[in-house]
Amino acid sequence: MAKRFSVKISKSWCKGCGLCIGICPKKVLELDGQVKCEPVRPEDCIGCRQCENVCPDFAITVKESE
């Protein structure tokens, strides 16, 4: 079975710069109505962690889920 990942966003740390959204190869992330990052397609996440690495505010944590 394919691995699943959870993408957690700290909304208080996110400044809505959109870098993570631009870098995600699976289009998992979008900005919500408050201009904060939101994982809208978490089931598509491949766990590459590019979003985590690119975020200047350390607002993203990617974990392998059970």
Binding site for ligand SF4 (CB under 6 A): 5, 7, 9, 14-20, 23-26, 28-29, 37, 45-51, 54-55, 57, 59-60, 62
| Smallest distance from ligand SF4 to CB 66, Å | 17
| Smallest distance from ligand SF4 to CB 1, Å | 17
Chain centre to alpha carbon of residue 7: 5
Q: Look up residue 18 and give its DSSP letter.
A: -
- Residue 22: φ, ψ to 5°: -70, -30
State which residue, 1 or 12, has the beta carbon closest to ligand SF4.
12
What is d(CA 38, CA 29) in angstroms, rounded to the nearest whole number? 6
